[in-house]
Amino acid sequence: MRKIGIGICFELKGLRLYRTQLFISLFLIPFSYAFILLLSMRPAQGQLSYILSGLTVASLIGAGSLVGIRVANLAEPEVLELYAALPISTGQAVLSVAIAYALLSIPQSAVLLGLASWWASRISVAMLVVGTVMSIIALFSFWTALGFVVRNPFKAQGVFSLISWTLLLFSPIYYEMNDLPFLYRAVLLANPVTHALNTIRPFLGMDAPLHWAVSFLYLGILGCLSVWYSVVALRNVRMLEKLF
Amino acid sequence: MSSANSKPVILVQEVTKIYPSGVIANDAVSLEVHDGEIVGILGPNGAGKTTLIRQILGLLKPTRGTIIVNVSDHNAARSRERHLIGYVPQMPLCYPSLTVWETIEFVLRLNGIRGKALITRANAVLAALGMEEWRSHFGYQLSIGARKLVLLAMALCQNRPILILDEPTAMVDVVKKNVVWEAIQAQRNQGCVLIASHDMSEVRRLCDRVYLMVAGRVVASGAPHEIAALLRLPVDIELAVSDLSRAQHVIEGFGYFAQQQGNLLRYEAHSLEDGLRIVEAVAAAGGVDYVKLEGPSFEKAVMHLLSRGERCAKSE
């Protein structure tokens, strides 16, 4: 744990250089969008809560893709070689990165969900926190696994943008799914983002396309599978060929 | 220094590494490093030095053969070795968004060192490598040579009993090279050092013993002066002279033949001493307008050595 703590500390320290970029992508853009929504949708309070909760999950997708890119970087042969003689394992380094980005995304999620709660018809704070944490763990694990699949930060930047875009497009972040055709709804229900939304919105008093317990189960399974894949990938990391 | 009676700290026995592509990177390589020794692996690019080091580190698995580090079975004890080996990789990687000081701090804190002890040790290693002025520089601001020094500082500050350096002074300037060499020499008291290099002068200066590797095989081993004598590093010399025929005549008198291109004469002397003697003679005979001596080409020296070996084998 001590080494993971040090890893988190230095990961955050290393992000100093990118503070403007982080401020823009994690705070300025989402909150500008939220501000525009507040201006344009004032009468429809339920919709405001719906969109703001969607924006929270959309931001988590953005932060998660950054984790994926960092993991793809850590799985590069040269970086593995750099870590070879340091007293921190690659697994600990990966965990440090994921936790550091999770910590970074918490303030933004808290503010956005706070705003969403303001216009919510009813709120269950405890379950809202549990649902958000569950979403963060499952989505970040998913991106970590993707980082191990790609293993090249340059390729990851392009591929992950496409994946993020697809995940956001085929999820009910900004639109309702109740009136959509069956097939399209089935596609949306296969998307982890839909389930992340479904672990948050019911606790802000919104109707859900399916029971929240199903989404918790879905995210739990997704998280476990992602962690399993990442652990297997860590054990089979190739540096020109397989590590042993 | 080498003690034949003591158990080696690193023991490589008949290690062969064949990559999945079929490339034989190491072919029955054996070497040993004892406590207090600095041992060099000398060889041209692609000789298999880095592959061998990666196997010793446990980053690659040998196809055949045994590697024993610190008297423990390598396969079983890899996690323990992580705490024994300080390593400088060939690739000059760094943490781009951490300063030099923070990078050292990161490594020391991972080793459980904090507070005053951390500051003392970090300052000591930066001073030993002459890097104090870079302490606040971010990794991305450093030159490739400076990054290499940061990697060395990361390895040295951990006080590990085994230090493995893959071309530690590649792209490091001449002044800093001397500082680095002194720091590596000081490691002799700490344990042992294994250096992969293609810089003959570095190996001569630092090593007690040298293994010469070519095409994945150890073709010779011994004290640095023995290896240097074996190689007799050739020197390429280029002369611009006004009287070409006279200069050619002088060069031929030494048993060499110079190729002519315009008013330039090019020849390859067996050694620097030979080359300089000829330049002096040509200058005395008619003057030299321009001289260019190209450093000993390691690849060429190895080719000479191998062809000499082949000639001997044929004559036998």
- The 10s digit of each residue's pLDDT in A149-167 is 988 889 998 999 999 999 9
Report pLDDT for B76.
Answer: 45
Are residues B61 and A244, on separate chains, in Cβ contact within 8 Å?
yes
Please report the pLDDT score of residue B297 as a whole number: 55
pTM: 0.77
A160/chain B closest Cα distance in angstroms: 22
Of residues A10 and B75, the one with the higher pLDDT is A10
CB contact under 8 A, A16 and B97: yes
> Burial level of B262, CB count in 10 A (0-12/13-18/19+)?
exposed
| Mean pLDDT within B142-148 | 88
More confident residue, B228 or B41: B41
**Residue ranges of A 86-115 with Cβ closer than 8 A to chain B:** 86-88
Q: How far is B192 from chain A (nearest CA, A)?
A: 16
What ipTM score was computed for the predicted complex, to two decimals?
0.76
| CA dist list (Å): A126 to A107, A131, A197 | 17, 9, 16
Record: contact B110-A79, CB cut-off 8 A: no
Nearest chain A Cα distance for residue B156, angstroms:
11
Predicted pLDDT of residue B308: 59
Supply φ then ψ for residue B235, to 5 degrees.
Answer: -130, 135
CB contacts of A3 in chain B (<8 Å) are: 110
Q: Give the DSSP H/E element, type plus range, for residue B251.
A: helix B244-253
A/B interface, count of CB pairs below 8 Å: 82
Tell me the backbone φ, ψ of residue B138, rounded to 5 degrees. Answer: -75, 155
Q: What percent of chain A has pLDDT over 70?
A: 93
d(CA A78, CA B225): 34
In the structure, what pLDDT confidence band is assigned to residue B100 with cuts at 50, 70 and 90? very high
- Residue A222 in contact with residue A192, Cβ under 8 Å? yes
How confident is residue A44, by pLDDT bands cut at 50, 70 and 90? low
Q: Is the pLDDT of residue B174 over 90?
A: no
Query: Can you give the pLDDT at residue B231?
Result: 66
Chain A CB contacts of B154 below 8 Å:
86
Beta carbons of B97 and A17 less than 8 Å apart: yes
What's the whole-number mean pLDDT along residues B79-91?
76
Does residue B184 contact residue B195 with C-beta atoms inside 8 Å? yes
What is the predicted pLDDT for the residue at A244? Answer: 47
| Yes or no, beta carbons of A241 and B60 under 8 Å apart | yes
Task: Name every residue whose Cβ is closer than 8 Å to that of residue B245 and which is 6 or more positions away in sequence.
Answer: none
Residues B50-66 pLDDT 10s: 899 988 888 888 999 99
Amino acid at B200: M
pLDDT of residue A59: 87
- How does pLDDT run across A166-199, given as a tens digit for each residue? 998 898 888 888 888 888 889 999 999 999 999 9
- Contact, B10 vs B87, CB < 8 A? no
Predicted pLDDT of residue B168? 86
Residue A201 has pLDDT above 60, yes or no: yes
8 A C-beta contact, residue A95 and residue A4 = yes
Q: What is the pLDDT of residues B149-169, one digit of tens each?
A: 999 999 999 888 899 999 888
Q: Where are the alpha helices (DSSP H) in B1-114?
A: 49-57, 78-81, 100-110
Contacts of A78 in chain B (CB under 8 A): 89, 91, 93
Highest mean pLDDT: which of A127-131, A208-212, B168-172? A127-131
Amino acid, res. B62: P
Lowest-confidence range among A63-77, A184-198, B72-86, B194-208?
A: B72-86
Cβ-count burial of A36 within 10 angstroms (0-12 exposed, 13-18 middle, 19+ buried)?
exposed
pLDDT band at A127 (very low <50, low <70, confident <90, very high): very high
Which pLDDT belongs to residue B2? 46
For chain A, the domains span 2-235
> How much is the average pLDDT of A135-139?
94
Please judge whether A242 and B61 are an interchain contact, meaning their C-beta atoms are less than 8 angstroms apart: yes
> Which pLDDT value is given to residue B292?
85
Backbone angles phi, psi at A211, to 5 degrees: -60, 140
Tell if the CB–CB gap between A17 and B138 is shorter than 8 Å.
yes
